[in-house]
C-alpha cells in the first residue's frame, strides 16, 4: 500500500475542505462587494464605524470576562475537592456539569426570569445591574461543561493528592494550597476553559436577547436582518477571532512553567554613574 496514491481518503479530505472553505470563501467574497464593481473592505469599515458595534463587543467581552472569573472560582475548588475527598461523587458532578448541553438556554433564562422577576423575592431583573448578574450567571452555566472538563483534565495530569499533602506538611492552609499550588499548576487548563467560555459567550443569543442586554449576539442577529454586507464581514471576523483564540490556547497548552508566552521588551538597566 505504501507509496500508492490513496484515492478514497484523499477524496474525503478534499470534500471536507470544500464543505468548510467554500461557504467561508463565498461569505468573504460577498463581504468585499459592498461597493459596486470593485472589491473593498468598505463593509468592515462600516461595521467599525457603528458605535453600537463597539458597545456590543465591549459589553460582551466584559460579561464573558466576568463569567470566566466566576466560573473558575466555582469550578476549580469544586473539581479539586471532588477529586481529593469525594471521588465517588465524580460521575454525578460530571453529569451535572453536562446538563447545560441538554437543557436549552431558553429554558434556563425563563427559569431565571421566573425566579428573579419583578414580583419575586429577589427582583434582579428590575435593574440593569441585576440583569447583568443574571446574564453572567447564565454564561457560567452555559460554559460549565467545557470549564469543568478542562479543569478536571488539568487536575488529572498532576498528582494533586501528594502535592496537597506536601504543602500541608509544610504548614499550608487549604486556601493557600488551592491558590498557590493547585491553581497555578492547572492554569493552562483554566485558560483553555476560559477561551472556550469566551467564544460561547461572544456568540450567545438566547439569554442575552431575552434578558434584553446589549450583547454581541443579539447585535449580530439584528444586523443580519437590517443589512446585507456587514453581517458577512462580521462572520469572517468572528472566524478570524476564533482562530486566534485557538492558536493562543495551543501556545498556552505547550508552555513550560516559568516560560513567557510573549517576549518581554527588556529595559536597559541604568548603569550607576561613577
The footprint of another protein (CB under 8 A) covers 158-159, 162-163, 165-173, 176, 180-181, 184-185, 187, 256-258
CB closer to another protein out of 14 and 166: 166
Minimum distance from CB of 92 to another protein (Å)? 22
Distance CA 78, CA 83 (A): 8
Minimum distance from CB of 243 to another protein (Å)? 29
Distance CA 242, CA 195 (A): 9
SS3 content of the chain, % helix, strand, coil (to 5): 75, 0, 25
> Nearest Cα to 204, choosing from 120, 122, 136?
136
CB closer to another protein out of 30 and 183: 183
Minimum distance from CB of 180 to another protein (Å)? 8
Minimum distance from CB of 90 to another protein (Å)? 20
Which residues lie closer than 8 Å to 18 by C-beta, 6 or more apart? none
DSSP secondary structure string for all residues of 97-116: HHHHHHS-HHHHHHHHHHHH
CB closer to another protein out of 62 and 157: 157
Minimum distance from CB of 174 to another protein (Å)? 9
Distance CA 207, CA 215 (A): 10
CB closer to another protein out of 135 and 167: 167
193, three cell numbers? 476553559
For residue 12, with 0-12 CB atoms within 10 Å meaning exposed, 13-18 middle and 19 or more buried, which class applies?
A: exposed
CB closer to another protein out of 163 and 245: 163
Amino acid at each position: 500500500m505504501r507509496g500508492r496514491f490513496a484515492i478514497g481518503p484523499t477524496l474525503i479530505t478534499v470534500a471536507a475542505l470544500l464543505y468548510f472553505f467554500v461557504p467561508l470563501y463565498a461569505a468573504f467574497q460577498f463581504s468585499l462587494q459592498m461597493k459596486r464593481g470593485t472589491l473593498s473592505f468598505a463593509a468592515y469599515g462600516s461595521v467599525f464605524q457603528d458605535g453600537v458595534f463597539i458597545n456590543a463587543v465591549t459589553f460582551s467581552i466584559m460579561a464573558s470576562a466576568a463569567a470566566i472569573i466566576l466560573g473558575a472560582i466555582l469550578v476549580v475548588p469544586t473539581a479539586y475537592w471532588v477529586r481529593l475527598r469525594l471521588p465517588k461523587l465524580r460521575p454525578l458532578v460530571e453529569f451535572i456539569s453536562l446538563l447545560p448541553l441538554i437543557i436549552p438556554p431558553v429554558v434556563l433564562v425563563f427559569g431565571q426570569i421566573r425566579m428573579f422577576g419583578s414580583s419575586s423575592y429577589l427582583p434582579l431583573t428590575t435593574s440593569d445591574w441585576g440583569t447583568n448578574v443574571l446574564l453572567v450567571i447564565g454564561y457560567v452555566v452555559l460554559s460549565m461543561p467545557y470549564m469543568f472538563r478542562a479543569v478536571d483534565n488539568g487536575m488529572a495530569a498532576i498528582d494533586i493528592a501528594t502535592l496537597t499533602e506536601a504543602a500541608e506538611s509544610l504548614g499550608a492552609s487549604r486556601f493557600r494550597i488551592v491558590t498557590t499550588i493547585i491553581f497555578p499548576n492547572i492554569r493552562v487548563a483554566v485558560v483553555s476553559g476560559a477561551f472556550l467560555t469566551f467564544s460561547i459567550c461572544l456568540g450567545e443569543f438566547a439569554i442575552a436577547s431575552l434578558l434584553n442586554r446589549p450583547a454581541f449576539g443579539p447585535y449580530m442577529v439584528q444586523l443580519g436582518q437590517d443589512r446585507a454586507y456587514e453581517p458577512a464581514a462580521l462572520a469572517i471576523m468572528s472566524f478570524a477571532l476564533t482562530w486566534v483564540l485557538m492558536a493562543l490556547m495551543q501556545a498556552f497548552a505547550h508552555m513550560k512553567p516559568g516560560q513567557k508566552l510573549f517576549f518581554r521588551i527588556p529595559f536597559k538597566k541604568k548603569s550607576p554613574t561613577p
